[in-house]
Every structure is written in C-alpha cells, then in structure tokens.
Structure 1
Amino acid sequence: MKVIITVLSILSLSACQNNKTQSIASNDVKPQDSIQNIGGQTDEHGCYIAAGYTWSQLKNDCIRLFEDGIALENLNTTDTYHTAAYLIIDSLQKKAEIFVPSSHESILLTQQNDSTFSNGTFLLAKENFCWTISMKNTKLYQERK
C-alpha cells in the first residue's frame, strides 16, 4: 500500500512540474501580454499606456520607447521642463521613426543617404556620431554624446 501511495505522489508531483515548465518555456508570450491581467487604459492600437507602451508604425507593434528607442535631448533650454524625443531606425526598410512630444503619433522619415532621413518637414541627421532632429533648419533634439 505504501508503494502505491509513493508512486502516485511522485507522478502527481512530476505532472505539476511539467505544466510549469511548459508554460514558462512558451515563446509566444510578449511582455505586454502579462500586463493584460493587470488592466489599464489602452490606446487605439491596444498598447497599454500606463505600462509605458506606445504604437510603432515601423515595427507594427507596441513598444517601450525607453527600451527600444534612442533618446534625444531637447536642445531648447528655455523650456521650464525637459522633454525627450525618441528615435527608431530600420536599415532594412530604409526608414526612421521619430517620437516627438509635440506630435500625438510617431513620424516616419525616409532615408536620403547613409546619415540622413527626412519627410520634408523633419530632418534626422547623424552629426559627429550623434543623431539630431531638425525642423526648418532649427535643431530641436540631439542624442547625448
């Protein structure tokens, strides 16, 4: 009788451990999926705003700019508060996406040459190994050296 109980105990413990291993090993879970259980406000694309997610047109997915983007500092020192712009570059698509505080949506730029992207209004240029966002010949944001 003790042998049967021992075998059944071992089988039940190993079954629980297998279920945990399978759920942890699943590669289909995105970081944002775990936030769904918490709740919170989402934007029109389903990105969880409170968790820092925003929609990227370039990646066609919800991203965290502070994790996936390049931060550029505000060059206008007269502002009483500091805001940053963010940048994502996709060299395969030959596009850049900028996220500036004055725009509700990100802005796509097309590559002009190795170090320049533009959409006619905004210009993204690499100067001295740092990215700079300009508008109408006025530098607005620059990557920290």
Structure 2
Amino acid sequence: MKKLILTAVGFAVLSACNKPQTNENTIKNEQKAVGADQDDHGCKASAGQTWSELKQNCIQVFNEGFRLNPVTPPKDAAVTSAFVLMSEDQSRLELFLPEQTDHHTVILNKSDKGMYQNAQYQYDPVKSVLYLNGVEQYKGNVE
C-alpha cells in the first residue's frame, strides 16, 4: 500500500514539474503588451493612430480629418466613414478610405477649378462630395 501511495505521489510531483509545450508564436503573443502594436512608422492602431503622408506623422484621423459618410450606407452593417485631410497650403488632399486594408492613403492634387483629383477619385470641397470614377460615393455634412 505504501508503494502505491509513493508511486502516485511521485507521478503527481513529476507531472506538476512538467513544463507545458510552447511554440514561438505562443511566446510572442504572450509577450506582446497592450499598446505595443506599432506599425512601420511607429503609429499605434490601438490608440487610433494612422500614418499621414501629408503630415509625415502619426495622426488620429477622426480628430484631424473631415468625415465623409457613404452616400448609400449598408443596411445591416455599421457605417464606416472615409476621411479627408488637407495640406496646410490646401494644394493637396489625403484620402483615408475604409476599403483600404493596406493602410496606404490616396493623395489628390488641387486642379485649377478648385477640385481635388487623380485618375480615379475627385473631391468637391464646396459640396463636400467624394466621387469614385465619376460616381458619388461619400458625402460630408455641409452646413
């Protein structure tokens, strides 16, 4: 009986000392602290930051940009806004579009007619409307 108890205690001690198997991904995930999600530019997505080509800095686009909402919002999904950000001299405009998953923005140059445009996009600052290939996609609240 003593041998059986000693054997059971021995197995319990050995199994308690057994270190769980971990792989490299588990270790990386455990070591990643909250707020340690910097991108290549040092912007922290958890703080709502994204890189701005115009500002050459991390910004919170919802604080610095102008919000544009979809012209036809989705029926059973959350509305995801686009944002525009003007350069200080107002000669260029940066678009932050929700459908851009690669975190790259689109830069539009101001034309002599006051519109901002490139081959695909056109932004009318008077009407606060963003067009994609000539079709109205996003609109801001103009008062």
> In which range does the TM-score fall when normalised by the shorter chain?
0.5 to 0.7
Alignment of 1:96 with 2:93, yes or no, is yes
Q: In the TM superposition, what whole-angstrom CA distance separates every residue of 1:4-60 from its partner, at most 9, and x where no partner exists?
A: xxxxxxxxxxxxxxxxxxxxxxxxxxxxxxxxx973201121101000000000000
Alignment of 1:24-63 (within 5 A): 39-63=35-59
Other structure's SS at 1:141 match: strand
Other structure's SS at 1:113 match: coil
Quick one: distance in 1 between partners of 2:133 and 2:87?
24
Question: CA contact under 8 A between 2:35 and 2:47: conserved in structure 1?
Answer: no
Specify every segment of 5 or more residues in structure 1 that has no aligned partner in the other structure, as ranges: 1-36
Quick one: distance in 2 between partners of 1:53 and 1:86?
13
Normalised to the residue count of structure 1, the TM-score between the two structures is 0.67
Percent identity, please.
Answer: 24
Question: CA contact under 8 A between 1:40 and 1:49: conserved in structure 2?
Answer: no
Give 1 or 2: higher strand fraction.
Answer: 1
1:142 corresponding residue in structure 2:
139
Question: CA contact under 8 A between 1:123 and 1:133: conserved in structure 2?
Answer: yes
Question: CA contact under 8 A between 1:130 and 1:144: conserved in structure 2?
Answer: no
2:124 corresponding residue in structure 1:
125
Quick one: distance in 1 between partners of 2:68 and 2:108?
16
TM superposition shift of 1:116: 0.5
Question: CA contact under 8 A between 1:134 and 1:140: conserved in structure 2?
Answer: yes
Question: CA contact under 8 A between 1:96 and 1:117: conserved in structure 2?
Answer: yes
- 1:113/1:80 Cα in 2 relative to 1: closer, same or farther (>3 Å)? farther
Normalised to the residue count of structure 2, the TM-score between the two structures is 0.68
Structure with the greater alpha carbon radius of gyration = 2
1:106 corresponding residue in structure 2:
105
Alignment of 1:72 with 2:59, yes or no, is no
TM superposition shift of 1:89: 0.7
Number of aligned pairs?
107
TM superposition shift of 1:79: 4.7
